[in-house]
Amino acid sequence: MKVSLIHMKVRSSLKDSLEAAGTAIRKAAAQKPDFIALPEYFSVPNNIEKFNSAEKISRETYKPTTHFLAETSKELQEIYLLGGTVLEEANGKFYNTSSLWRNGSLIGKYWKRNPISAELKAGVSRGDKPAVFTTEHCKVGMLVCADMFDPPTIKAVVDLGAELVFLPVAAMGTHPHVKGHPLSEKLATENGVYLVKVGNVSSNARGGRSAFITPWGIEQEATDAVKDSVMTTDFNMQKLREYRKTLKK
């Protein structure tokens, strides 16, 4: 099962962000993956550096971003597109929303359950439901960035049977410098999942970089290069499922 992720530079405009994402997605699609994933807030100008109003950001970016995801997904045909995240309004509240698309249709979405302090101050609300979707390839779980710091949130996704977990992040250099990806590696090893951490080039602290993580360690990780890049790996689902049988129930 082939998965691609888009490791993106942060742009100062919505237009530039969407154009860059489109270029990278088409490059990834040429490798014929089953999934392509984008980073957290990939279309938000300057990402979270000037994050002070969820309402303003949502008004400016939600419609063009979701239109972009729908139209791009149509082009991809049978490839699933993990749409990073976008700020969505629902019942007067704003949620950091990750979405899964295929053939131009929304398969499902997830509201981040653990917004960081800057998001909360800007008016981002907490989601309250885990999200796992069944595809012909595997069961897909969705988390967003700081969700990794909350064991109940992780457990909820694992308990629903997730095998492949997408984790869009936007560390912006604020992520603590750590060896490897300790929380991500722990999740993969203890629960028998493949984890796709997908971030931006400004996530220069090693713990916040894009990476493919397996129960056996880091399979591939983004470099320090200050440029957009596409990373692709081929996950062995049979190997994963055999590993899962060895885990204690």
What residue segments make up the domains of the chain, in order of their start?
Answer: 2-244
Residue 54 has pLDDT above 70, yes or no: yes
**What pLDDT score does 227 carry?**
86
Nearest to 37 by CA among 248, 219, 230, 189: 230
CA 49 centroid distance within chain = 19
pTM: 0.95
Residue 83's pLDDT is 98
User: For 102-149, what is each residue's pLDDT tens digit?
Assistant: 999 999 999 999 999 999 999 999 999 999 999 999 999 999 999 999
Task: Let me know: does 46 contact 10? Beta carbons within 8 Å.
Answer: yes
Looking at residue 206, what is its pLDDT?
52
Hey, what CATH class is 2-244 in?
A: alpha beta
- Cα angle 241-84-24, degrees, rounded to a multiple of 5: 95
Distances (CA, A) of 223 to 107, 175, 226: 32, 16, 9
Query: Does residue 85 register a pLDDT over 80?
Result: yes
Give the residue ranges of DSSP H helices in the chain. 14-29, 54-76, 117-122, 151-159, 182-191, 237-245
The Cα 136–Cα 129 span in angstroms is: 23
- Could you tell me if 239 and 215 are in contact, meaning their C-beta atoms sit under 8 angstroms apart? no
Q: Which residues, other chains included, contact 159 with Cβ-Cβ below 8 Å and sequence gap of 6+?
A: 130
| Whether the predicted pLDDT of 173 surpasses 70 | no
Consecutive H or E run containing 165? strand 164-168
Residue appearing with tokens 């699609």:
29
Check residues 116 and 175 and name the one with the higher pLDDT: 116
Residue with tokens 């440029």: 227
pLDDT category, 224, cuts 50, 70, 90? confident
Q: Which of 43, 149, 164 is nearest to 96 (CA)?
A: 43
Residue 114 is predicted with a pLDDT of: 97
Distance CA 235, CA 216 (A): 12
R_g of the chain computed on alpha carbons: 16
- pLDDT over 70 at 35, yes or no: yes
